[in-house]
């Protein structure tokens, strides 16, 4: 995993606060089971489970097994901050029809990475988004009618909230009764960002830091590839 020292200067001491914490979950499946218990306790009316590929898929599959619900996808891709970017962190995210950009980080990047613009990052993220949607097309169900239902958008963690914010945009167009982002762990900043955009959230653990790295909260947190996701979805159908 590539990690660049200048990331620390962007999100300040937040990484130091979370770097040495004890993991909360064995893996994404364990996190999904715990998140399912939280969601069950909320009593959501007509819940519809929707995962954010890729990391949200194993979490959501574990939830689906517990909640006995169908699983759908809402795609988003992080906007990289360099040609060889740390996949855990981005300057925002893109989804179908929307760009959610961290304007403050973009300004920092203009100084620290003058050779890589936000426009370049958006283009790369859009290409990745289209590629992922194409590769998972065979395993992607059309989103259902969400009117009168509770759309529950699932990811493996919210560091800044921009990926979830982007992935939520296509769902809002379907006018769900409630739109809830559910995740095993969220930063305080991510929660505030969702609230500011009229989106509810359900988090097993809410961290006080303004930004976090999600892998610190898992004992095992491998990057989920397209082939990994396909294998998980295929095995879940057996």
Q: What is the pLDDT of residues 54-96, one digit of tens each?
A: 999 999 999 999 999 999 999 999 998 877 766 677 889 999 9
CA–CA separation, 97 vs 229, rounded Å?
24
169 is written with which tokens?
């945009």
Where does residue 97 fall: left (phi above 0), alpha (psi -120 to 50 degrees), or beta otherwise?
left
Residue 118's pLDDT band, with cuts at 50, 70 and 90, is confident
Domain extents in the chain: 29-75+136-237
Residue 153's pLDDT band, with cuts at 50, 70 and 90, is very high
Q: What is the pLDDT of residues 11-61, one digit of tens each?
A: 544 455 555 678 999 999 999 999 999 999 999 999 999 999 999 999 999
pLDDT at 114: 67
Residue 209's pLDDT band, with cuts at 50, 70 and 90, is confident
Cα angle value 233/168/109 (rounded, 5°):
105
DSSP sequence for 138-207: GG-PPPPP-BTSEEEEE-S-BSSSHHHHHHHHHHHTT-BSEEEEEEEEEEHHHHHHHHHTT-EEEEEEEE
Region 182-209: what's the mean pLDDT? Answer: 95
pLDDT at 3: 42
> Does residue 1 carry a pLDDT above 90?
no
Burial string for 131-142 (b: 16+ CB within 10 Å, else e) reads ebeebbeebbee
pTM listed for this prediction: 0.90
Residue 5's pLDDT band, with cuts at 50, 70 and 90, is very low
CA–CA separation, 27 vs 57, rounded Å?
12
> Does residue 197 carry a pLDDT above 80?
yes
Region 93-116: what's the mean pLDDT? Answer: 80
pLDDT at 196: 96
The architecture that CATH gives domain 29-75+136-237 is 3-Layer(aba) Sandwich (3.40)
Radius of gyration of the chain (CA): 17
């Amino acid at each position: 995993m590539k990690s660049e020292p200048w990331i620390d200067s962007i999100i300040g001491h937040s990484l130091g606060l979370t770097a040495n914490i004890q993991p909360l979950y064995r893996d994404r499946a364990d996190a999904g089971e715990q998140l399912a218990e939280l969601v069950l306790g909320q009593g959501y009316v007509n819940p519809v489970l929707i995962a954010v590929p890729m990391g949200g898929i194993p979490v959501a599959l574990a939830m689906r097994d517990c909640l006995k619900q169908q699983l759908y996808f809402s795609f988003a891709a992080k906007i990289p901050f360099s040609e060889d970017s740390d996949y855990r962190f981005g300057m925002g995210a893109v989804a179908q029809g929307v760009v959610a950009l961290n304007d403050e980080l973009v300004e920092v990047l203009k100084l620290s990475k003058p050779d890589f613009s936000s426009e370049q990052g958006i283009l790369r993220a859009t290409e990745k988004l289209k590629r992922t949607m194409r590769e998972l097309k065979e395993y992607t169900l059309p989103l259902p009618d969400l009117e009168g239902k509770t759309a529950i958008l699932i990811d493996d963690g919210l560091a800044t909230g921009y990926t979830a914010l982007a992935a939520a945009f296509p769902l809002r167009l379907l006018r769900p009764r409630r739109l809830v982002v559910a995740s095993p762990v969220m930063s305080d900043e991510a929660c505030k960002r969702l609230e500011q955009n009229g989106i509810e959230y359900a988090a097993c653990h809410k961290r006080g830091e303004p930004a976090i790295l999600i892998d610190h909260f898992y004992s095992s947190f491998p990057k989920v590839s397209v082939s990994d996701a396909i294998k998980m979805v295929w095995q879940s159908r057996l």
